[in-house]
Amino acid sequence: MYSVYTNMLQPGPLRRRIFGLENEYGLIFSPNGRVYLPMEKVLGYIFEGLIPNSWPSNAFLVNGARFYQDTGCHPEYSTPECDNILDLVIHDKAGERLLEACLPAAEERLREEGLSGEIYIFKNNTDSLGNTYGCHENFLMRRDVDFWKVTEQLIPFFVTRQVYSGAGKVLKVSGKPQYFISQRAQHIHEKTSSSTTSSRSIINTRDEPHADAERYRRLHIIVGDSNMSEFATYLKVGTATLVLSMIEEGYTVQGMEFEDPVKAIREVSRDPTLKRKIKLDDGRQMTAVEVQRVYLDRAQEYLAQQEHDPILDDVWQRWTMVLDKLEEDPMQLVREIDWVTKRHLIQSYVDKKGCGWDDPRVFLLDLQFHDVKRTRGLYYLMESRGLIERVVEEEAVQRAMSTPPQTTRAKVRGDFIRFARAKNRSYTVDWTYLKLNGYWEETILCMDPFSAVNRRVDELVAQVAGLRFYR
């Protein structure tokens, strides 16, 4: 959903944070035989698996997350508010598991209509026609900080972050296959923009705080790839949060502006050797890894002046390790980084089969890497063989499919939905409010994303529970 910066009751260093991600998924129905089936119908059966007895286009789940249909008939899953990075990784993976769990029933419903076939759900960012769909990160910034000064310092970081957060993609350029680091980079057209489709930008200017608008504004990041790797997700969000926090606290990064950021993000993506130099405004040229090291060093200065935080320290240490290995030989990160893992997988296949990178099977491998079905997706087949570095426990992921984070607003939302369903009551829910339809149609605002309790919701639940008891 979004990530929030807060100093809580004490000024100065960061005391608590909330994180969130939105992932749009690719959807394919492969029928047994020739038949046309609108994707809306397939998505409808998937919705049935998540939201029994209804088919809304915008639904919140008992774990506090949001699941809905986005533009182009893409299922989109927004994690609930999480107050640490590991919880975010857990709930991001829970979204995959929820969609995977819907597949058997959805395919059975299709068979009942005489439409035998398989449904495929991919956690990626591009389809075979060249369309793109996103992985969005959102950060609630302090309203009193100059938004434009912050974004100018963030742009070089996001342009180069793809060296460890990219998902990898095989594309044909002038008829020849070429391996790209990032799936989203070639679809970015602006430095900043309010649009998420027609003029995608490195920094999106959408400002929907979903919290106290006098204290916060929204930073919407649509430049990143969807990650299969838990490690990559952890590092992607962790480094972005660390950099944003240090800039907000006055640890600025000056003189790193690119001459042409949009051109730079594409050039970085087209060079898996990571040797290409990018031109800066002042005439200097630096590689993407060198630019990342500037932010890494500034982050070290920032952390040295802060109260010890084991998570942020761990993010910095992993960031250091990854940049070192990327500079030496990116293939050392075959267990951790998606674009490296996929490149290794495809190269091994090409070597084994004696084919070229333009072989149709290579493009199929590229897609199958992102299949969320764990008995079929290539990423998960590698994980099952111990070839992938995990960050969280599977037990925690399974629990997060039905349990919201217990220390954020998501707990209020998830518990309210669970209660309303148990009582068979119609309800309306959004990020910042809850309402039981019918009697007591009071809209209860939940503007504090850090609060796991809401007195008015507790009173409403007690009223409804008491009424049912006395009847």
- Residues with catalytic function: 70
What's phi and psi for 197, nearest 5 deg?
-125, -60
Q: Hey, how many other C-beta atoms are within 10 angstroms of the C-beta on 320?
A: 15
Which element (helix H / strand E) includes 428? strand 427-429
Whether the CB-CB separation of 361 and 367 falls below 8 Å is answered with: no
- SS3 for 190-256, per residue? EEEECCCCCCCEEEECCCCCCCCCCCEEEEEECCCCCCCCHHHHHHHHHHHHHHHHHHHCCCCCCCC
3-state secondary structure (DSSP) of residue 271? coil
3-state secondary structure (DSSP) of residue 359? coil
CA dist 449 and 430 (Å) reads 12
Contacting residues for 334 by C-beta, under 8 A, at least 6 apart? 340, 341, 344, 387
Q: Which two tokens stand for residue 234?
A: 């952890």
CA dist 391 and 238 (Å) reads 13
CA dist 234 and 380 (Å) reads 18
CA dist 410 and 323 (Å) reads 35
Contacting residues for 467 by C-beta, under 8 A, at least 6 apart? none
Q: Which residues of 8-34 are buried (b: 16+ CB within 10 A; e: fewer)?
A: eeeeeebeebbbbbbbbbbbbbeeeee
Q: DSSP of 150-174, one letter per residue?
A: HHHHHHHHHHHTHHHH---EEEEET
